[in-house]
């Protein structure tokens, strides 16, 4: 479509706003198809430069609203990140041929731009991605085939199929229809080697309290006390008690030994395995902070721990710390980096191997896939969203955990100190969810499951390989014409 004047700006903007409206917390998933249809109309048959800037505009209109939470942490970082990530997508669209072959090439290239955003720089930011928009749609189930990138590529393809209808192009509709139908059918097939074991009764403890607070030393005993009191609300025998990330925070007002006594006693009194989140400074092997979940067995002994591997840039580790400190720009950044762990993301418990993704790690599909590869039969995501002033991070994290459940065919348990907390079944359905700020215990009976989906075996590389192969084909085809 040859857009001129104000339409050249408004159509990409509307496309981006539709994409933003499809992701949580708004979450009206059909808007993603409308957004990609409008974007395809805006960039099809256009020059490389036009494809770049129109896609940049659409992506900025999607990411700036969908990542608004970041502005509260760092306004300059929010502005720079949105512009940079939009440029990733602008480049992907620019190098995609603008002719008919784009309908084969662009779904993969869009997914490849997202993969880049999830990894670079500083480990990436996978929030607000468009797979999150589809977790409650039939398309979400295809995550079990090749993960979130596959869901995203299919979403782009459906939007392009809509423009093929307008242009009366039969072949793209037929090919797209076959791919879509085949994917939806394949997603219904049982997981190879699936074995459903014994059930485990679980209590997810959300201590409650006000949202929008920052981590502070004087709040540490208050947060711990809230979770001790909330644990007393458990009114039935359970096998497993899950506490959120870093609610046990020894420091000036609470020694590590005192915290150990408190947590061990809870496990003994409840005759249950307790998985609490710890956060405290250590001088060795290097000065820093540890962030881990431990497994305290019913006899009151800690038998295992998992230290967070994927840490948050500028939240848990600070790139260019020396430069920031020397230029006087270090105000508000953490004084110490979290020391990343290196152990497998699985805790040994009497209830079997439990895969752990701490907070931020839930957004990275390879963390849960790694846990399943190491034998995890249940997945947990202890988190701490109490610092955020909106519910974007929390709702998108629930959606991410829905994807992790579908991708791995596992129950997923998410718990936060002030919410959200959720119980998610292997089909990605939210069985139960808390509200923000409330003190609550969520109960669940979950199955220990074995067997690995296609996604848990192959990960994201098939989609990335398709993107690069289709790009080479598309460029060659366009030159041949």
DSSP letters of 222-274? HHHHHHHHHHTT--S--SEEE--TT-B--BTTB-HHHHHHHHHHHHHHHTSEE
Residues 286 and 418 in one domain: yes
CATH number at residue 380: 3.60.110.10
User: Cα-Cα-Cα-Cα dihedral of 181, 182, 184, 185, to 10°?
Assistant: 110
Residues 221 and 130 in one domain: no
Distance CA 316, CA 335 (A): 9
Q: Is residue 150 part of a domain?
A: yes
- Report the pLDDT value the prediction gives residue 218, as an integer from 0 to 100: 59
Residues 306 and 263 in one domain: yes
Domain carrying residue 383: 195-452
Do 419 and 438 contact (CB within 8 A), yes or no?
yes
Q: Is residue 58 part of a domain?
A: yes
Q: Is the peptide bond before 121 cis (omega within 30 degrees of 0)?
A: yes
Residues 208 and 158 in one domain: no
Residues 121 and 209 in one domain: no
The tally of CA atoms less than 13 A away on the side-chain side of residue 454 is 19
Here the tokens at position 73 are 């942490």
Here the tokens at position 106 are 């662009």
Distance CA 229, CA 440 (A): 10
Do 304 and 339 contact (CB within 8 A), yes or no?
no
Residues 91 and 61 in one domain: yes
Distances in Å between the Cα of 386 and the Cα atoms of 116, 242, 248 are 28, 17, 15
Q: Is residue 21 part of a domain?
A: yes
- Report the pLDDT value the prediction gives residue 326, as an integer from 0 to 100: 62
- Report the pLDDT value the prediction gives residue 390, as an integer from 0 to 100: 79
Residues 285 and 376 in one domain: yes
- Report the pLDDT value the prediction gives residue 471, as an integer from 0 to 100: 95
Q: Is residue 76 part of a domain?
A: yes
The structural domain count of the chain equals 2
| Secondary structure tally for the chain: helices H, strands E | 15, 13
- Report the pLDDT value the prediction gives residue 212, as an integer from 0 to 100: 63
Do 317 and 337 contact (CB within 8 A), yes or no?
yes
Q: Is residue 70 part of a domain?
A: yes
DSSP letter for 390, please.
Answer: S
Residues 416 and 472 in one domain: no
Distance CA 447, CA 132 (A): 25
Residues 299 and 171 in one domain: no
Q: Profile the chain (481 residues) by mean pLDDT over runs of 10 residues.
A: 82 97 95 97 94 97 94 83 96 94 95 95 91 97 97 97 88 92 96 94 94 62 92 97 95 90 97 97 85 97 96 77 61 76 95 97 96 97 83 94 98 95 97 94 97 95 95 85 59
- Report the pLDDT value the prediction gives residue 325, as an integer from 0 to 100: 61
Residues 87 and 26 in one domain: yes
Distance CA 124, CA 280 (A): 25
Do 42 and 284 contact (CB within 8 A), yes or no?
no
Here the tokens at position 245 are 């990330």
- Residue that is written with structure tokens 């009194």 in the block: 269
Residues 281 and 235 in one domain: yes
pTM for the structure as a whole: 0.94
Q: Is residue 299 part of a domain?
A: yes
- Residue that is written with structure tokens 């007002």 in the block: 253
Q: Is residue 2 part of a domain?
A: no
Q: Is residue 1 part of a domain?
A: no
Cβ-count burial 75-104 (b if 16+ within 10 Å, e if not)? eeebeebbeebbbbbbbbbbebbbebbbbb
Residues 164 and 293 in one domain: no
């Amino acid at each position: 479509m040859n857009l001129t004047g104000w339409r050249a700006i408004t159509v990409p903007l509307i496309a981006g706003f539709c994409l933003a409206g499809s992701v949580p917390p708004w979450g009206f998933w059909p808007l993603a198809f409308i957004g990609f249809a409008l974007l395809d109309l805006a960039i099809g048959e256009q020059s490389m430069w036009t494809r770049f800037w129109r896609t940049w505009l659409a992506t900025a209109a999607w990411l700036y609203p969908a990542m608004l939470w970041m502005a509260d942490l760092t306004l300059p970082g929010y502005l720079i990140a949105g512009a940079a990530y939009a440029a990733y997508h602008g480049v992907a669209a620019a190098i995609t041929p603008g002719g008919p072959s784009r309908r084969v090439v662009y779904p993969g290239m869009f997914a490849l731009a997202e993969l880049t955003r999830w990894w670079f720089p500083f480990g990436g930011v996978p929030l607000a991605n468009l797979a999150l928009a589809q977790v409650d749609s039939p398309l979400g189930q295809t995550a079990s085939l090749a993960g979130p990138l596959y869901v995203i590529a299919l979403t782009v393809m459906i939007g392009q199929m809509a423009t093929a209808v307008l242009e009366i192009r039969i072949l793209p509709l037929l090919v797209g229809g076959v791919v879509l139908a085949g994917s939806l059918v394949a997603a219904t097939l049982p997981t190879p080697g699936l074995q459903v074991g014994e059930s485990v009764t679980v209590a997810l403890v959300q201590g409650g309290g006000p949202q929008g607070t920052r981590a502070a030393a004087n709040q540490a005993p208050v947060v711990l006390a809230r979770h001790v009191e909330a644990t007393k609300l458990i009114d039935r025998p359970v096998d497993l008690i899950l506490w959120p990330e870093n609610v046990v925070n020894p420091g000036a007002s609470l020694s590590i030994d005192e915290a150990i006594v408190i947590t061990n006693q809870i496990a003994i009194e409840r005759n249950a395995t307790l998985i609490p989140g710890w956060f405290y400074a250590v001088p060795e092997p290097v000065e820093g902070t540890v962030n881990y979940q431990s497994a305290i067995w019913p006899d009151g002994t800690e038998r295992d721990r998992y230290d967070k591997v994927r840490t948050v840039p500028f939240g848990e580790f600070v790139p260019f710390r020396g430069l920031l400190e020397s230029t006087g720009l270090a105000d508000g950044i953490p004084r110490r980096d979290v020391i990343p762990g290196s152990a497998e993301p699985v805790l040994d418990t009497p209830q079997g191997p439990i895969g752990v993704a701490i907070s931020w790690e839930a957004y990275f599909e390879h963390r849960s896939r790694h846990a399943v590869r190491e034998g995890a039969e249940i997945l947990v995501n202890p988190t701490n969203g109490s610092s955020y002033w909106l519910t974007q991070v929390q709702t998108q994290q629930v959606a991410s955990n829905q994807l992790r459940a579908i991708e791995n065919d596992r129950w997923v348990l998410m718990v936060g100190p002030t919410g959200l907390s959720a119980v998610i079944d292997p089909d990605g359905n939210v069985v139960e969810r808390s509200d923000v700020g409330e003190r609550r215990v969520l109960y669940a009976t979950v199955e220990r499951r074995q067997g690995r989906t296609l996604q848990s075996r192959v990960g994201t590389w098939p989609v990335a390989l398709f993107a690069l192969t289709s790009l080479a084909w598309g460029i060659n085809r366009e030159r041949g014409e």
